[in-house]
Amino acid sequence: MAADRILGPLALLCALPLALAACRPEDRPPPSPPAGAVRDWPAGELRSGGGEVEAALAGGEVHRYRLPLRQGDLLRLVVDQRGIDAAVVLEDPGGAEVLKADRLIDDRGLELVLAVAERSGDHRLVVQGLDGSGPGRYGARVEALRPASEADRRSAAAYRSFTGAEGLEPDTAMARWTAALATWRELGETALEGEVLARMARQRFDQRQWQASADLYREAAAVFARSGNPRWEALARNSLAANLLPLGDTEGAAGELTRAASLARRANDRLSAATAFHGLGQARQRQGELQAALDLYDEALKLWPEGHPQRPKTLHQLGVLHARYLHDERRGGELLLEAWNTFRTDAKPDRAATASQLGRLAYEQGRLDEARRYFEKALELRQDRACESAVFLARLALVEEGKGARPAADARMGEALRTVESRTCLRSEPTVRLLNAGLAEKRGDFIGARASYQRCEALYAGLGDHMGRAESLMGVAHADRGLGDLRAAREAIQAALEITEGVRPTVLREDLRTSFFSGVQGWFDTHIELLLEMGAADEAWATAERARSRALGDLLAEAGAGLRRTAPAALIARERELQRRLNDLEAQRLVSSESRPEKLRNIQAALDAKVAELETLRGDLRRGSPLYASLTRSEPLSAAARRELLDDGTVLLEYRLGERASTVWTVTRDAVAAARLPPRREIEPRVLEVANGLRSMEWPGRNPPSLCELSRTLLGPVAASLGRQRIVVVADGALEVLPFAALPVPGGPEACERAPALVDSHEIVSLPSAAALITQRRLLAGRQPASGWLAVVADPAYTPGQNLRRLPGTAREAAAITKGLPAGRFFLATGPAASRQTVTGGALRGFRILHFATHGILNPEQPLLSSLALARGGSLPAHEIYDLDLPAELVTLSACETALGRDVPGEGLVSGLPRAFLYAGAARVLVSLWEVEDQSASELITVFYRGLFQGLPPARALQEAQRTLRRQGRRPYQWAGFVLLGDWRPLPPFAP
């Protein structure tokens, strides 16, 4: 079949064999050929330049036509395939096969019959739909019918020899093709010259002679270009790229694929265009341009017809991109399973590769038995290809090691290594050696591991694979550290992290950039631990900062640069429509009954898809900005930056929870010190227990032992540095839900029961990262304060469909905090006026402080869908707050759990509402860790604002409010849940 012959060159283009043939699922049996289906060619049609016969054809179906020819006649006839892959045979009057035409063009394009009749009589044209193809249609027409010249005879003889070479021994076939090539070059038959060059290239490809194959495909492409055939030129350039990839010429492959995509579009060849986009995605993925790869795969998916055998290959590549490179294992696993379930059962190489990737995911998530089943299935499917099987064997070795079967692991890995050492396995060898190096490292063989990792790094460099190089360099670092060579380990880690720094800005979607960065947090942990071992506490802290809240920092820089103000109107309009549809779906989700889980799942799937679409669109906005790349560059925090950030009365405590050990840095204007803490697995359960106790109404009236113990753990190592200074906390993991204000001042076991809370002697401020605040301060420097003081949106009048109770306490709170303010300096919207229109219509823009006292609707899985519930059935989702212009000095979210969100390694607690308001222009946000009852919240907020309007800085005003409630004997759940996020400096003076 044509499909079988085109597989090879496109196999490496797709990391799986790419066939251009559209094949029908195996479980649909082909129809039997109709009995006696021999048709006369319509009268008058069998002549040069005559009309066309057109018919429908299914896979396995056979049509036959009589062709009355005279001896010596040249027949040039074409069959135009339209969605059916057909083989075309010419039989002589005795029924013997003259030639069989089945070009490398699958189910579209022209099959050529070129022959000279050796005797007069009724010849037969046989058009057969290949099994598994179609159904579709074809058209047949005669292009030339005349007495043959000598040149015609030579060309026809060459064509018969050329087509008859299929299935012969390689050397015999190559000899025939070489002879045909010489004939057609002499006769000036450029189209046929290009075709035979492509056949010769394909055979070199099958023999893994990449350079020879590439040279022939390049020559074929040039011939097709001269003959003016963009479709065949696109096919040749796609195949040329498939040879350049294993040769390590990734950029050259990308150039050929770009030309192929353009040619295919010009020829209206969707499938060749899809092939080119798929291959370009692979090239860009290898080069670390992950967003480009994502976009190209998506483009290919749009072009593959539903059910086309190439579509699951693109799904496979998308799954690998998400799971391995973007570290979005959930989405990657879904795509890989979709690919596995849609591959044809006879697509063994493809299914083997997908099984291997599914096994890798299972192994990394600790499901060893499941991983073994997938790897064994991959081996079963790919026993005919040693190089690919070597990878599956190496992965099985790791499973055996994990199960404690060391001899079996050695046997599997030994076989894999012998395979890649005894043959050319350009893609498989670095993978096998990387897995072998990891096994050696696990066993403490650091010398062997380092040698293997270094070999891998060289191999990946030769392939132009950036992320493969980075992974190998990290392995080198681990091995060097194990051998005690800390300086060499430091250099290797820095090289690996520089590669990730180059990759990260290419990912334009905020959610995927976040997941990508979360996947390399272990690398940062290793670097930090190494620096601490070397006594470089200052550099270790700068590295910890480099690893934190980068997506938030990018967002703040983006907002300050005004990227949205210069965005094309069409993109903004598309964004508005997407937001409207998102809001409709979220409204459906909120009112859907849990008794109908299937409906809820469908709505959630639609929401996830729309959020991804919105993120992609916003990525397109960033793509159009020439400033964006510079905005995402990370600058290390220097001593000068510390002095810029901190004043003499402020100490910063930055925590990082690690797997081996955790760290707290004490940072002042003049120094950085580090102290080691217990590992994450010990700290986080204690933190969650304490946080739940603090938010409980059941408070014993004294500091419980668990709280005291946690305070000694977290604050004991830094207590001597605290004095009575302002404390700025950069938390990590579960620490982000812990109100540090409620921790007792650390002391001995006896003193702790009655020890004062930290808030009694310290202002407490939270930051996502120090670098994010520096970025924000620089962006907001020189901003003129608004003339209005305070805008309040409180006690919305909800509709019955919102299923929310009124909050009358917030109306009293609003009245209390606006009481005594000068007329015209405040704005108050309550009841029906506390509406979406009020917030989005610009009424709040001229005020320094924005106060929202309403229900907050938290969506931790999709933070962009977290929202504030407003009057008349309205809501304000986070994804729309991003679009608002709210240059406020402070936004107070007096709603439940507005600080909470999804914990993302490296990014921290991704809570949609605070981030959205910071992006919209807020300098700081007051948020809550839990739902505070109305009365206490109202009292605390009233005292807080009284202090603000008297000139207290926000952190000091919050301290006074919390101390006031403490002195009244209130439990922590009534006062400790409010947290100031952002700048602690005073607000501009409130002059009457």
| Residue range 874-925, pLDDT digits in tens | 888 888 888 888 899 999 988 665 655 555 565 555 567 888 888 888 999 9
The owner of tokens 């969707």 is 270
Percentage of the chain surpassing pLDDT 70? 87
Half-sphere exposure of 385 (CA within 13 A, CB side): 23
pLDDT band with cut points at 50, 70 and 90 for residue 11: very low
Sign of dihedral through CA atoms 391, 392, 393, 395? positive
Q: At 604, is the secondary structure helix, strand, or coil?
A: helix
Percentage of the chain surpassing pLDDT 90? 52
**Does the pLDDT value for residue 535 go beyond 80?**
yes
User: What does the buried/exposed string (b/e) look like for 413-445 if buried means 16 or more CB atoms within 10 Å of the residue's CB?
Assistant: bebbbebbeeeebbbbbbbbbbbbbbbbbeeeb
**Does the pLDDT value for residue 463 go beyond 90?**
no
Contact 834, 795 (CB under 8 A): yes
What integer pLDDT is reported at residue 531 of this predicted model?
Answer: 95
Element (DSSP H or E) covering residue 845: none
Section 475-495 average pLDDT: 95
Tens digit of pLDDT for each residue in 621-667? Answer: 666 665 555 455 556 678 888 898 999 999 999 999 998 999 999 99
pLDDT band with cut points at 50, 70 and 90 for residue 936: confident
Strand order through the sheet with 97-101: 38-40, 62-69, 121-129, 86-91, 97-101
Half-sphere exposure of 559 (CA within 13 A, CB side): 28
pLDDT band with cut points at 50, 70 and 90 for residue 424: confident
> Which is more confidently placed, 287 or 713?
713
The owner of tokens 């400790």 is 976
Contact 943, 554 (CB under 8 A): no
Section 378-407 average pLDDT: 92
pLDDT band with cut points at 50, 70 and 90 for residue 369: very high
Least confident of 132-141, 310-319, 829-838, 964-973: 132-141
**Does the pLDDT value for residue 18 go beyond 50?**
no
Q: In sequence order, which ranges of 819-933 are alpha helices (DSSP H)?
A: 836-840, 878-881, 912-920
Contact 321, 285 (CB under 8 A): yes
What integer pLDDT is reported at residue 906 of this predicted model?
Answer: 56
What integer pLDDT is reported at residue 22 of this predicted model?
Answer: 27
**Does the pLDDT value for residue 217 go beyond 80?**
yes
Tens digit of pLDDT for each residue in 678-737? Answer: 999 999 999 999 999 998 877 777 889 999 999 999 999 999 888 888 999 999 888 988
> Which is more confidently placed, 897 or 193?
193
pLDDT band with cut points at 50, 70 and 90 for residue 32: very low
Least confident of 547-556, 836-845, 861-870: 547-556
Section 465-470 average pLDDT: 90
pLDDT mean across residues, the chain: 85
Residue type, 34: P
- What is the distance, to the nearest Å, from the Cα of residue 41 to the centroid of all Cα atoms in its chain? 56
What integer pLDDT is reported at residue 28 of this predicted model?
Answer: 34
What integer pLDDT is reported at residue 706 of this predicted model?
Answer: 93
**Three-class SS string for 294-353?**
HHHHHHHHHHCCCCCCCHHHHHHHHHHHHHHHCCCHHHHHHHHHHHHHHCCCCCHHHHHH
What integer pLDDT is reported at residue 686 of this predicted model?
Answer: 95
> What's the rounded Cα separation, in Å, for the pair 478 and 486?
10
Contact 851, 791 (CB under 8 A): yes
What integer pLDDT is reported at residue 27 of this predicted model?
Answer: 35
pLDDT band with cut points at 50, 70 and 90 for residue 25: very low
| Maximal CA-CA distance, the chain | 115
What integer pLDDT is reported at residue 35 of this predicted model?
Answer: 38
Q: Which of 115, 201, 199, 102 is nearest to 158 (CA)?
A: 115
What integer pLDDT is reported at residue 298 of this predicted model?
Answer: 92
**Does the pLDDT value for residue 989 go beyond 50?**
yes
Contacts of 40 (CB under 8 A, 6+ apart): 65, 66
Least confident of 425-439, 607-621, 823-837: 607-621
In the 8-state DSSP scheme, what is residue 760? G
What integer pLDDT is reported at residue 19 of this predicted model?
Answer: 25
> What's the rounded Cα separation, in Å, for the pair 486 and 407?
33
> What's the rounded Cα separation, in Å, for the pair 421 and 618?
47
